[in-house]
């Protein structure tokens, strides 16, 4: 029999050798390594994780950094030269990763402010075999923990408590009873979602498996869960029959199952009992406040509940016709129980969804009134709070929506709609890169299997955007590639990919070329038009910048569009360079008005460049000082402040140089803390 450690060593040595052979190629990643190793991507990911406790991207980066340290010790090449030779297209990113890996910068290596050569060799050796040490230490910790805890919890289960409730099967000969069986499934799901100790996949994620032939392990792998709930039921007269079982995915065996025969009037007690027993079977902790929520009956009126379940069928279609039909049924539910909070909340949802993409809102009062009634009758319901948040979003009072959504997530920690809404708010309306990324990652955990390939493409686009805004360049690259793999015709992913490549290598010409390629596909796209113009501005190619900005401005004016007001100062500068001073003044005035209205964390930065344009350098420096105290600003700030020709008069000012360094240091410090936080939450 072959020795396991030898197999392990052979695999790692081959992987490392393959990476080193391609180390100068910055595009060399997981897919390329898998191909050269003659392995599937998933097998490679799993094997590297098993042997090194690192993700494949982290392992490749570690090999690059180890080689970089070696070259710093043994060659006279500059840090910039070495960064490119080990496959980092961006020197500042190489320095940042190097510091994270070793605790000191490449410059400190050169200055000798690090251990001597022998100690460095030990560092290299410990890095090279870090996975051996980590694995050994992990085994020791596990053994000690087991010995210490054995008396207290002999059946301890360390499997992650992640679960998906598959669509229940209607066993009734009457297909009209399907809505009732669906209701049993949905309520079971909703009850489990209220338990913070569980990670529960969304209803939309499991709907695709309603008529599937896939096995339990296949479904569990696609949903990234360790447990599945299967059920079947029927209703005949006043009787309810429910068969339900909890299956452990790894072994494909039931760990709990039961058959129930109950009166319809006992349906709420039945659903609560099922949730408790499932939680008990996988050793999930249910807090008293969570149990109160689970045991709270949505209504005492069974006829009202029946209308509510019927309404969910057209509501879940998401179409205007379906929502209109659902409204009628939710209203019937309320006729039978005027205090039915859940029905009021879903009425608000329905009106909001009908109105969402309409320029002229018709149902604002209906949303507000129904949300208020939902809160009146159940203020601790996630649905009631979400309904009120939607009202504030309808009237664009986004900051008032936030506390309602955050409180809703306390009552339902697994609510995919709430997580999606928070991600959207922190991305667009109330910019906060840390929270945007946190909720985008949580959303992926709960809802990634919910959509077709086109929708998945947009999910990964959103995640990639959140990652790059926080400076996670490699991770953003992985996500944007997934987005394009799912849908190569995605409207926005190629644009974001062009920017991510710019973040990696700083190559403006390449970025311009990629943007122009996309604009040539659709010359009506104003988003790309102003991006192309902006890059010519950064290169101080003002004739070309003017050509594209003029097209952008003419179209924006023709259709009365209020878009990209933050770009008006650049447009003013370009027009001034072309001698069009009157028009330049108009754009500057518009930018000044934008600065006054800006309530975001970027206001001080916006005012600073305004003051530079006016020649008020002291005031500009003061505003940059204020901005240097901000948190959660986008990575683009670091990249483009260095490129902006407007700031040239300040670049010889030592105080300004010091401020820029503070902004950059603060960003990377915050990013490092964020990385640890997300790792602790199990989000990355």
CATH number at 8 reads 1.10.10.60
* pLDDT confidence band for 637 (50 / 70 / 90): very high
Number of continuous H segments (helices) and E segments (strands) in the chain? 34, 6
Give the per-residue pLDDT at 624.
97
Residue 148 pLDDT > 70: no
Pick the range with the lowest mean pLDDT from 3-7, 425-429, 582-586: 3-7
Give me the domain span that covers residue 318. Answer: 301-413
Residue 54 pLDDT > 90: no
Q: 324 and 249, same structural domain?
A: no
Q: Is residue 439 part of a domain?
A: no
Find out whether 334 and 343 touch, Cβ atoms under 8 Å: yes
Mean pLDDT of the region 263-290? 90
Q: Is residue 116 part of a domain?
A: yes
Q: Is residue 61 part of a domain?
A: yes
* pLDDT tens-digit readout, 299-309: 999 999 999 99
Q: 381 and 289, same structural domain?
A: no
> In the chain, what is the straight-line distance between the N-terminal and C-terminal CA atoms, in Å?
37
Mean pLDDT of the region 61-68? 90
Which stretch, 99-113, 184-198, 544-558, has highest mean pLDDT? 544-558
**Token pair of 519, please?**
């604009």
Last residue of a domain, one of 266, 297, 328: 297
| Average model confidence (pLDDT) across the chain | 86
- Other CB atoms within a 10 A radius of the CB of residue 51 amount to 19
Q: Is residue 154 part of a domain?
A: no
Q: Is residue 683 part of a domain?
A: no
Mean pLDDT of the region 478-495? 93
**Token pair of 542, please?**
């003002």
Which stretch, 45-59, 116-130, 201-215, 372-386, has highest mean pLDDT? 372-386
* pLDDT confidence band for 112 (50 / 70 / 90): low
* pLDDT tens-digit readout, 567-584: 999 999 999 999 999 999
Pick the range with the lowest mean pLDDT from 117-126, 162-171, 319-328, 420-429: 117-126
Find out whether 441 and 433 touch, Cβ atoms under 8 Å: no
| pTM of model > 0.75 | no
Q: How many domains does the chain have?
A: 3
Residue 145 pLDDT > 50: no
Mean pLDDT of the region 638-648? 94
Last residue of a domain, one of 392, 413, 434: 413
Q: 291 and 332, same structural domain?
A: no
Q: Is the model more confident about 120 or about 330?
A: 330
Residue 1 pLDDT > 80: no
DSSP letter string over 350-416? HHHHHHTT-SS-S-HHHHHHHHHHHHHH-TT-HHHHHHHHHHHHHTT-HHHHHHHHHHHHHH-TT-H
Q: 350 and 265, same structural domain?
A: no
Q: Is the model more confident about 639 or about 153?
A: 639
Query: What would you measure as the largest C-alpha separation in the chain, in angstroms?
Result: 86
Give the per-residue pLDDT at 141.
31
Give the per-residue pLDDT at 123.
37
Find out whether 138 and 53 touch, Cβ atoms under 8 Å: yes
Find out whether 347 and 330 touch, Cβ atoms under 8 Å: yes
Separation between Cα atoms, residue 549 and residue 569, nearest integer Å: 12
Q: Is the model more confident about 428 or about 619?
A: 619
Q: 286 and 180, same structural domain?
A: yes
Separation between Cα atoms, residue 447 and residue 214, nearest integer Å: 19
Helix axes 302-315, 320-336, angle to 10 degrees: 170
Residue 490 pLDDT > 50: yes
Give the per-residue pLDDT at 589.
97
What's the distance, CA 665 to chain centroid? 24
Give the per-residue pLDDT at 449.
57
Q: What is the CATH number of the domain that holds 398?
A: 1.25.40.10
Q: Comparing C-alpha atoms, which of 157, 162, 169 is closest to residue 193?
A: 162
Give the per-residue pLDDT at 184.
84
Q: 305 and 293, same structural domain?
A: no
Q: Token match 């929502």: residue?
A: 323
Q: 287 and 225, same structural domain?
A: yes
Q: 318 and 265, same structural domain?
A: no
Residue 127 pLDDT > 50: no
Q: 128 and 97, same structural domain?
A: yes
Q: Which of helix, strand or coil describes residue 38? A: coil
Q: Is residue 110 part of a domain?
A: yes
Rama region for 125: left / alpha / beta (φ>0; ψ in -120 to 50; rest): alpha
Give the per-residue pLDDT at 152.
35
Separation between Cα atoms, residue 291 and residue 121, nearest integer Å: 56
Q: 166 and 277, same structural domain?
A: yes
Q: 190 and 205, same structural domain?
A: yes
Separation between Cα atoms, residue 301 and residue 78, nearest integer Å: 76
Residue 135 pLDDT > 60: no
Cα-based distances in Å from 172 to 233, 308, 383? 7, 20, 30
Residue 471 pLDDT > 70: yes
Q: Token match 């085994």: residue?
A: 139
Mean pLDDT of the region 194-205? 89
Separation between Cα atoms, residue 72 and residue 79, nearest integer Å: 8
Separation between Cα atoms, residue 648 and residue 346, nearest integer Å: 56
Give the per-residue pLDDT at 448.
61
Give the per-residue pLDDT at 450.
53
Q: Is residue 630 part of a domain?
A: no
Last residue of a domain, one of 262, 279, 297: 297
Q: What is the DSSP letter of 426?
A: I
Q: 100 and 11, same structural domain?
A: yes
Find out whether 340 and 376 touch, Cβ atoms under 8 Å: no
Backbone angles phi, psi at 163, to 5 degrees: -150, 150
Pick the range with the lowest mean pLDDT from 56-65, 126-135, 327-336, 376-385: 126-135
Q: What is the CATH number of the domain that holds 274?
A: 3.40.50.10610
Give the per-residue pLDDT at 11.
81
Q: Is residue 483 part of a domain?
A: no
* pLDDT confidence band for 401 (50 / 70 / 90): very high
Separation between Cα atoms, residue 290 and residue 269, nearest integer Å: 15
Q: Comparing C-alpha atoms, which of 442, 470, 448 is closest to residue 460?
A: 448
């Amino acid at each position: 029999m072959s020795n396991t450690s030898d197999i392990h060593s052979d695999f790692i040595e081959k992987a490392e050798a393959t990476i080193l052979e391609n180390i100068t190629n910055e595009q060399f990643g997981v897919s390329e390594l898998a191909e050269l190793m003659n392995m599937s991507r998933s097998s490679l990911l799993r094997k590297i994780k098993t042997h090194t406790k690192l993700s494949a991207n982290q392992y490749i980066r570690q090999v690059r950094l180890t080689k970089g340290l070696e070259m710093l010790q043994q060659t006279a090449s500059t840090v910039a030269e070495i960064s490119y030779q080990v496959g980092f297209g961006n020197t500042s990113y190489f320095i940042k990763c190097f510091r994270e890996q070793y605790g000191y910068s490449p410059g400190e290596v050169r200055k000798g402010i690090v251990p001597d050569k022998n100690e460095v060799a030990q560092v290299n050796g410990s890095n090279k075999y870090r996975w051996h040490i980590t694995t050994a230490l992990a085994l020791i910790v596990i053994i000690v923990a087991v010995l210490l805890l054995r008396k207290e919890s002999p059946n301890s289960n360390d499997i992650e408590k992640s679960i998906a409730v598959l669509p229940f099967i209607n066993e009734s000969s009457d297909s009209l009873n399907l809505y009732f069986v669906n209701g049993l499934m949905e309520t079971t799901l909703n009850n489990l979602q209220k338990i913070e100790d569980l990670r529960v996949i969304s209803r939309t994620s499991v709907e695709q498996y309603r008529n599937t032939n896939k096995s339990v392990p296949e479904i569990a792998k696609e949903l990234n869960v360790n447990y599945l709930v299967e059920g079947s039921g029927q209703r005949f007269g006043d009787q309810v029959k429910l068969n339900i079982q909890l299956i452990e995915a790894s072994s494909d065996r039931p760990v709990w199952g039961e058959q129930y025969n109950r009166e319809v009037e006992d349906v709420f007690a039945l659903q609560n009992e099922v949730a408790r027993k499932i939680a008990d079977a996988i050793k999930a902790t249910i807090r008293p406040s969570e149990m109160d929520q689970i045991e709270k009956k949505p209504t005492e009126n069974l006829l009202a509940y029946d209308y509510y379940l019927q309404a969910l069928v057209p509501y879940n279609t998401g179409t205007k016709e379906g929502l209109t039909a659902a409204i009628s049924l939710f209203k019937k539910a309320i006729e039978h129980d005027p205090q039915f909070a859940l029905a009021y909340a879903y009425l608000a949802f329905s009106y909001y969804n009908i109105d969402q993409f309409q320029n002229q809102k018709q149902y604002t009062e209906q949303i507000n009134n129904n949300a208020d009634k939902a809160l009146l009758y159940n203020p601790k319901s996630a649905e009631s709070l979400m309904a009120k948040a939607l009202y504030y979003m309808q009237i664009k009072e986004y900051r008032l929506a936030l506390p309602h959504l955050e409180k809703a997530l306390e009552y339902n920690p697994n609510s995919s709609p709430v997580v999606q809404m928070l991600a959207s708010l922190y991305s667009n309306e109330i910019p906060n890169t840390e929270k945007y990324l946190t909720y985008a990652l949580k959303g992926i955990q709960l809802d990634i299997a919910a959509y077709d390939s086109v929708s998945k493409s947009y999910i990964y686009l959103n995640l990639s955007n959140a990652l790059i805004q926080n400076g996670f360049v490699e991770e953003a690259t992985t996500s944007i590639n997934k987005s394009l793999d799912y849908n190569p015709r995605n409207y926005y992913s190629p644009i974001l990919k062009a920017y991510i490549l710019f973040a990696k290598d700083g190559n403006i010409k390449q970025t311009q070329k990629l943007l122009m390629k996309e604009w040539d596909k659709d010359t009506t796209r104003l988003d790309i038009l102003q991006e192309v113009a902006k890059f010519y501005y950064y290169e101080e190619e003002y004739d070309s910048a003017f050509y594209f900005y003029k097209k952008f401005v003419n179209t924006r004016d023709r259709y009365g569009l209020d878009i990209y007001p933050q770009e008006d100062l650049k447009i003013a500068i370009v027009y001034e360079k072309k001698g069009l001073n009157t028009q330049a003044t108009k754009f500057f005035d518009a930018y000044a008005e934008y600065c006054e209205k800006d309530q975001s964390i970027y206001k001080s930065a916006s005012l600073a460049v305004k003051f530079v344009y006016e020649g008020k350098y002291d005031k500009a420096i003061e505003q940059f000082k204020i901005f240097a105290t901000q948190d959660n600003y986008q990575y683009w700030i670091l990249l483009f402040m260095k490129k902006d020709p407007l700031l040239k008069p300040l670049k010889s000012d030592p105080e300004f140089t010091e401020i820029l360094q503070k902004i950059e240091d603060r960003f990377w410090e915050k990013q490092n803390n964020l990385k640890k936080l997300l790792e602790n939450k199990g989000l990355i």
